[in-house]
Amino acid sequence: MNLLEKLDSAAAARKALLPDGIGAFGIPIEEVYSATEARIGNRRVLLLGTNNYLGLTFAPECIQAAHEAIDKEGTGTTGSRMANGSYYGHRALEKEFAEFYRCSSGIVFTTGYQANLGTISGLVGPGDTVLIDGDSHASIYDGCVLSGADIIRFKHNDMVDMEKRLRRLDDRTETTLVIAEGIYSMLGDQAPLAEIVRLKKAYNCILLLDEAHSLGVLGETGQGLVEQTDLLEEVDFITGTFSKSLCSIGGFCVSNHPQLEQLRYVSHPYIFTASPSPATIASTRAALQLLRTGSHLRKQLWSNCTQLYAQLNEAGYQLGPDPGPVIAAVVDTPQQALLLWQKLLEHNIYVNLILPPAAPEGKSLVRCSVNAAHTAEQIKYVGETFSKLYSLVNG
């Protein structure tokens, strides 16, 4: 096959999973009314397919900050951080992230994907090793590939398998980067961080934790899994994104290692990408302040999470191991997932459809993202609708 025929083959494979022209991916959201409601076509729908965990997309503080930044600094930086794209706000946000995590320094990237791409490829290279969870996000995989380091995967959250692979590395563990995630985006489960830290110390590795889905969600002040487990001091590098709880776009890395600053000079994704717009930085700074003081938001979020998880569990759905802001109903086939997704949309509920190979273990997922702005009545309606559809999907 030539280059274009390869794309035709991929399109055919995708079409085979989406019969009758169902447009389940990239569905246009015509209007957004709030953190929980939008219009798709002629339907007013409940949004259960966003990562807006703290519900801050319409927070007045964030909107005002973005407006003021546009008025003062324009729409974009038009340059990389190395050239002309380090404004006052970029440096201020780096300092605020570092202070939030009690770290000596931080770096802001243009996207969360780029934060992992730039950090990983800057830390390791040919001759080094990265040991990653088998369910790692694509940005982690791609950062490892870009680095040229040897990539070793261990079974998802399996510490016996992780230690077996560390043992085989022998003295190469000193040049090994271990990578895990606070909350995994498919099933919403958490990394066994205490065990990972134990192995990291025993084998003298460096540990990077991606808190993308756990920032704002876990811990008293929302630092993530490092705060919930009281292991902040044991993690060498923390990456994360602005596009979940912070309701913007961008990413960061923080660390107490002074070598973090050298990434600015060796990380190609950092050096050669235009920096985030002033409005993006300003709204993120406002959201970070709300996140830090938002214990009431986390309390409401977890109330919603436990309510929906209990309803889906009682209805008989196979779920991830624990409640959380990501709640995925696991089904055996793409056809079952498509039917459930389509019927939920007919009931004015928008969720995410995850098909193989993105879904783990060859299964398919219908994934909900719960946020703090959902009302108890909205969550109850979603749970009741899932319950009504269970026999249709699993009958």
User: How much of the chain, in percent, has pLDDT values that exceed 90?
Assistant: 89
Mean pLDDT of the chain: 95
**Distance between CA atoms of 268 and 340, rounded to whole angstroms?**
42
Asked: is 13-54+295-394 a CATH 3.40.630.10 domain? The reply is no
CB-based contact 281:89 (threshold 8 Å): yes
Q: Across residues 33-51, what is the average pLDDT?
A: 96
Q: Across residues 28-52, what is the average pLDDT?
A: 95
User: Per DSSP, what are the bridge partners of residue 274?
Assistant: 80
Q: How many CB atoms lie within 10 A of CB 153?
A: 17
Is the predicted pLDDT of residue 17 greater than 80, yes or no?
no
Residue 346 identity: E
Find the largest Cα–Cα distance for the chain.
Answer: 62
pTM: 0.95
**Distance between CA atoms of 95 and 107, rounded to whole angstroms?**
9
**Which DSSP letter does residue 190 get?**
B
pLDDT at 371: 97
Predicted confidence band of residue 191 (pLDDT cuts 50, 70, 90): very high
Is the predicted pLDDT of residue 101 greater than 90, yes or no?
yes
pLDDT at 392: 87
User: Which class for 214: exposed (0-12), middle (13-18), buried (19 or more C-beta within 10 A)?
Assistant: buried
pLDDT at 175: 97
**Domain definitions of the chain by residue range:** 13-54+295-394, 60-292
CATH-assigned architecture of domain 60-292 = 3-Layer(aba) Sandwich (3.40)
Q: Across residues 358-377, what is the average pLDDT?
A: 94
* Dihedral sign (CA 6, 10, 12, 13): positive
